[in-house]
Amino acid sequence: MENEKKENEKKLVFLVDDNPATLQSGKNVLSMNFRVATAPSAVKLFELLQTNTPEIIVLDIDMPELNGYEVIKVLKFRQDTKDIPVIFLTGKTEADDELMGLNLGAVDYITKPFQPMLLLKRVEMHLLVETQKRKLEKQSAELLNYSNNLQKMVWEKIQNVLELQDTLFKTMKELSECRNDITEGQIDRVQERIKTLLEEMEKSKVYCEEKKQ
């Protein structure tokens, strides 16, 4: 049960190649550290993508029906697959072929016949890069959210201070206007309003820094 749980926690890799020997060789080495699903064609790949989302796709270029270049164009166009890293696996060795693959969005280009351990290390490296990239994106989003919340709090504080100041000015104006003809009831009402205002200022910690000084 414990082994099954650990296996399910492994990252999922799709290996796509029309050569059965390449599929078996690649699966043998990648299964050391990952869950591996193999597909002998682009059609089978898209069937797998209907129910599973891999962490990375190792994709052959020379395949019948749809070749690797055509497949990656579809992957990068689709919203649900555009962010999945793709490593091209191919017998093509021309620089122009490699450049075309990279321009289409592949993260790497491995020529066949490949050394199994080299394939494993390349996949591990790119998955590590993706993990770090996601962490940075998450941290950036958290910092942006914190900044927005801080700005909102500061603005609310400023608005509160301005409202309190406005109330104080109005109260002092009323007191000034009626100072020559003031009744005991008016005095009581003004005192009560000032008391309430000061209590609100204390709750809001308005001018607390000045009081400390």
Q: Is the pLDDT of residue 161 over 80?
A: no
- Percentage of residues in the chain with pLDDT exceeding 90? 43
Q: Distance between CA atoms of 14 and 86, rounded to whole angstroms?
A: 10
Mean predicted lDDT score pLDDT of the chain? 81
The CA-CA-CA angle for residues 159, 146, 81, to 5°, reads 135
Residue pair 89/107 in contact (Cβ under 8 Å)? The answer is no
Q: What is the pLDDT of residues 16-50, one digit of tens each?
A: 999 999 999 999 999 999 999 999 999 999 999 99
pTM of the entire predicted model: 0.63
- The closest alpha carbon to 134, from 11, 4, 3, belongs to 11
Which helix (H) or strand (E) segment is 15 a member of?
strand 12-16
Q: What is the pLDDT of residues 48-66, one digit of tens each?
A: 999 999 999 999 999 988 9
Q: Distance between CA atoms of 50 and 194, rounded to whole angstroms?
A: 69
pLDDT number for residue 211 = 47
Buried b or exposed e, range 41-60, using 16+ CB within 10 angstroms: bbeebbebbeeeebbbbbbb
Higher confidence at residue 100 or residue 143? 100
